[in-house]
Structure 1
Amino acid sequence: MRTLDVCSPYRPGGIVGTVSIVFEGRSRRCRKRVVIAGLGDSGVLTAIHLAGHVDVVGISTKPAWVSGKELGTRISRPDDWARDYWVAFDRFRRLAGMRTVHGVLTGVDLDRRRVFVRGADGTTGTEDYDALVIATGVTSGFWRRPTVQSADEIGEELRRVHDQVAAAGCVAVIGGGVTAVNAAVNVAVTWPDKRVELYFPGERPLLTHHARVWNRVRRRLARLGVELHPRHRAVVPEGFRCDRITAGPVRWHTGQPDTEADAVLWAIGRVTPNTGWLPPELLDERGFVRVTPQLRVPGRPDMYAIGDVAATDPLRSSARNRADRLLAGNIRAGFAGRPLRRFRARTVQWGSVLGVQPDGLEIYAPNGRAFRFPAWSIEPVLQPWIVRRGIYRGIRDPAP
């Protein structure tokens, strides 16, 4: 709001009063409000790109950003994982003006453009929006759940899982995706005396990556002594949601003898979209949010979806291809009546597979070629400059 002096034509130079003029786009009262449902990996990045342009309200079941990435580090080195993947919202410099609601979404009124929330303290409330971003992700194992948790509960779970694996003499990892391979490698690196076995249903893991990636990863697994068991498809117990580390025998649909292990980590890719709060007409047959190539919900120009919850392509690759910047631009373009850009999904996965290792970090391109950050560069270069400042636009150091 700007205040101008008003002069009288009958009194040259004489000021008779003032008037306040609100300029479109400059006053916060005129700014659009975007509600971001879910503040995981995709939600936080989308909020970062929107902050400063619109009013952002984030709704999260966690009191901080708790990433679903790097399960192996989370299990084997929880302190290292928490330093980089568990960050209070107020530490993100770009989110200084964002209001967060700690709770779970229970419904949406499409006509009134309003979501319903049950807070962590049990109270209920609503949040109105001009645009709604659905970024509630999926449930996948114990490391990606939509349950409301406090900081203490998150910390207790980290320590409990770490202690359970640390006490096991034999660890069986079930699954053939990035999460399973990442877990097997990091457990073997942290506890070289453990017996670590990786069971997967196909001829090789990482089927959605270029074959070169598996060739490099296989050599590392061999050096670490991880036993590989191809063509093993596990029998999942009735009603079991793969949301905890178990013990005891694992049975196989493929006919092999039962497998005994002290700790069994289920990373079989069985995911459930966190969309129970949404009307069925917004969802596909599997419960994921239907979207156009512009990441907009069909027939709902005020609704968008991103990340694992969005039915963009078979790999749901908007979660991993930095679609957050595109989505933020499309939301602003939608408000201004400008054309929206298309999201172009990749047909293969790329990026890191194993996370930071003692010899550095390897990033794989879509063609399977690897680029390495040497170990010496991780803390002084990669984390502060490329990750915290480049990707997240600045993260403050934690309070002492």
Structure 2
Amino acid sequence: MNAPKVIVAGLGDSGLLTAIHLAKHADVVGVSSKPGLVSGQELGSRLGRPEEWSRNYWLDFGQYRGLDTVRTVHASLTATDLDAKTVTWVEDGESVTEAFDALVISTGVTNGFWRSPALQSTDEVAADIASHHDRVARSARVMVVGGGAAAVSTAANIALRWPEKRVDLYFPGDRALPQHHPRTWKTVRRRLLDAGVTLHPGHRAVVPHDFHCDRITSGAVRWQTEQATSTADAIIWAIGRVRPNSGWLPSEVLDVDGFVRVNRYLQLPEHPAVFAVGDVAASDPLRGSARNRADKLVARNVMSVLNGRRPHSYHPRRRRWGSVLGVQPDGLQVFAPNGRATRIPRWSTDRVLQPLVVRRGIYGGVRDTPRSSGQPS
């Protein structure tokens, strides 16, 4: 009996892990607009220390042992017929339509210049990373606009990488990280100040409606909250103006904001063999399936449905949790949902966490270089 065919649409952080789990049980096809994982995580590290960031967050698909049996397709998704169970994409200029037994939608969101659905080659990804780093490196004064984890991490990492720069963080509320526990902000605030970041609470920027934060700008920023205009050589917009990458899907499966409607099983209510996971899924107010290891749940639910078994429910968290600033010279600080922090020493992140827990445990093995033709797995 042939294994069921599962198409995983989008191989970002969530889709990649889902494909790895499914590959043990199904014939998996993964479709990605990038030639490998180009993670949306750790923007600050990507801008400040791109070589270090690339070792963990930009990897060729051929480096993942768990994808050895997965057919990865470098293409742009264009359409799907959920009733006919087909997905259409453009690959090398040709339109391709392929049937599926189950579909996992994990195409994520567009969020600034660091998370885009554009079809890119390896050279184009490398050029983007280098140009954004160089842009910040050349700037004496850097302004970060936004109050979420991406903004906070960016301000901290730039200040730590270039202590001579003036780094300002502007956010609209009394505190940043409003979706985290207040204890988290209290700890992170102290670290920002120690790094030399100047904090500007209560500043809500005037942002043109058609500006999608897709580039680093310079010049002046005006404030809806009526403070004096601020200026900087490099302005990084991390204001959470996300757009779901769902234009290839029929509108009837989307909510009013374009996110994919799912039930408690992360399943499309009208299409039991179709699931969504990650930032594109309207799973809960925080869209937390992207950060709470729902990839394993979705993979299990796909196989349950295909085999006539009952799927399992997704239980979202009420607060953001995890690392905020990423790995620093003194290690990694991880925040629980209650805001309490655990520190992992730097030697442990380098020798234990990344090679054993992440690469071997979570991803099932990661090679230092891509698997070549004829190379044993």
Provide TM-score, normalisation by structure 2.
Answer: 0.97
SS at match of 1:302: strand
Q: Does 1:106 align with 2:78?
A: yes
Aligned to 2:204: 233
Question: How many residue pairs were aligned?
Answer: 371
- Could you tell which deviates more after superposition, 153-162 or 121-130? 121-130
Partner of 2:21: 49
SS of match in other structure, 1:301: strand
Give the counterpart of 1:269 among 230, 235, 240. 240
**Aligned pairs for 1:283-302 within 5 A:** 283-302=254-273
Matches within 5 A, 1:90-169: 90-119=62-91, 121-169=92-140
Partner-residue secondary structure (3-state), 2:134: helix
User: For the residues of structure 1 that align with 2:310 and 2:225, how far apart are their CA atoms?
Assistant: 51
Between 162-171 and 123-132, report the one with greater CA deviation. 123-132
2:38 alignment counterpart: 66
- The equivalent position to 1:360 in structure 2, one of 308, 316, 331, is 331
Shift of 1:399: 5.6
Structure-2 separation of matches of 1:363 and 1:162: 26
Q: Secondary structure at the match of 1:332?
A: helix
Report the 3-state secondary structure (helix = DSSP H, G, I; strand = E; otherwise coil) of the residue aligned with 2:232.
coil
Q: Read off the aligned partner of 2:37 and give its amino acid letter.
A: W
Gaps of 5+ in 2: 372-377
Q: Which residue of 1 aligns with 2:228?
A: 257
Identity %, equivalent residues = 57
Distance 1:239 1:273 in 2: 16
Q: CA deviation at 1:319?
A: 0.3
Deviation track 1:32-70 (CA, whole Å, cap 9, x = no partner) reads 000000000000010111112001000000010110000
- Residue of 80, 83, 87 corresponding to 2:52: 80
Question: Aligned equivalents of 1:224 and 1:335: distance in 2?
Answer: 52
2:340 matched to 1:369? yes
CA distance in 1, matches of 2:23, 2:14: 14
- Take 1:376 and 1:138, find their aligned partners in 2: how far apart are those partners? 34
Question: What is the distance in 2 between the residues matched to 1:132 and 1:165?
Answer: 40
Q: Distance in 1 between matches of 2:296 and 2:144?
A: 35
CA drift at 1:386: 0.8
Moved over 2 A (4+): none
Q: Which residue number in structure 1 is paired with residue 359 of structure 2?
A: 388
Counterpart of 1:203, as a letter, is D
Counterpart contact for 2:60–2:370, Cα < 8 Å: no
Secondary structure in 2 matching 1:307 = coil
- Counterpart code for 2:42: E
Question: 1:326 is matched with which residue?
Answer: 297
Report deviation, 1:237.
2.4
Counterpart residue identity of residue 161, structure 1: H
1:248 corresponds to which of 212, 215, 219 = 219
What TM-score does the superposition give when structure 1 sets the normalisation length?
A: 0.92
Name the residue aligned to 2:275: 304
1:197 matched to 2:197? The reply is no
Aligned to 2:375: none
Aligned-partner Cα distance in 1 for 2:345–2:24: 35
